[in-house]
């Protein structure tokens, strides 16, 4: 128990001294993760007025908040998460587990056949710390997100997803290259060095 307490204290110290945490608090953003997205969308000019954007794994809402800010009063932002997310003006939120058919059906109903311009996925499983358990769970979520994007993105649309380095990622990226005209793997500055996360930007759905 003492060891866990020490590690928790160390995490809290790191968290509150993190410059991105401080910046998010100062700018009224819900999470430091917004700065990962900000860097990624700026590099590829992913956001334009009037777009329809779906944000998978949205809670606590940092990405949806940034997208809505960039789109202004135009377009649609539809967010989904297994966790509750406090409401955001201009963001439609669906509460549920993306691995189950119900929330996916609600998302499809909300779209009502409307094509999506950009699918974002920051989904991650609850991490156990055991790679042999966590990596397959993470890849399963990544496959679900890829399949959703394949079905609902307009031709030429874009898909941005968080992946964890490990078994299955190379094959997944090869598969994305068959579906999109360009695929880039990036690690934004706001992503902690010790994290195995990277982001795949798949642009120009075939």
Coil, strand or helix at 66? helix
CB of 50 within 8 A of CB of 75? yes
Residue 35's contacts (CB-CB under 8 Å, 6 or more residues apart) are 20, 23, 24, 188, 189, 190
Distance CA 52, CA 114 (A): 8
Q: Which of 185, 200, 111 is nearest to 151 (CA)?
A: 111
Does residue 162 carry a catalytic annotation? yes
Binding-site residues sit at 61, 63, 81, 97, 122
Q: Which of 6, 162, 184, 187 is catalytic?
A: 162
Residue listed under structure tokens 């439609």: 92
> Which conformational region is residue 163 in: left (phi greater than 0), alpha (psi within -120 to 50 degrees), or beta?
beta
Give the residue numbers annotated as catalytic, written as ranges. Answer: 162
């Amino acid at each position: 128990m003492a060891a866990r307490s020490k590690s928790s204290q160390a995490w809290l110290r790191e968290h509150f001294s993190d410059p991105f945490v401080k910046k998010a608090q100062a700018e009224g953003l819900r999470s430091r993760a917004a700065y990962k997205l900000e860097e990624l969308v700026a590099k590829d000019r992913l956001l334009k007025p009037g777009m329809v954007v779906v944000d998978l794994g949205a809670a606590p809402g940092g990405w949806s908040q940034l997208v809505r800010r960039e789109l202004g009063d135009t377009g649609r932002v539809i967010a989904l998460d297994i966790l509750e997310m406090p409401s955001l003006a201009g963001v439609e939120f669906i509460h549920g587990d993306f691995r189950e058919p119900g929330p996916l059906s609600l998302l499809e109903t909300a779209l009502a056949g409307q094509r999506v311009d950009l699918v974002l996925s920051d989904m991650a499983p609850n991490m156990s710390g055991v790679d042999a358990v966590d990596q397959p769970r993470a890849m399963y979520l990544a496959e679900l997100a890829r399949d959703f994007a394949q079905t609902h993105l307009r031709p030429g649309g874009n898909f941005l997803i968080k992946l964890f380095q490990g078994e299955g990622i190379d094959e997944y990226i090869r598969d994305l290259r068959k579906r999109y005209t360009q695929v880039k793997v990036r690690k934004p500055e706001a992503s902690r060095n010790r994290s195995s996360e990277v982001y795949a930007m798949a642009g120009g759905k075939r």
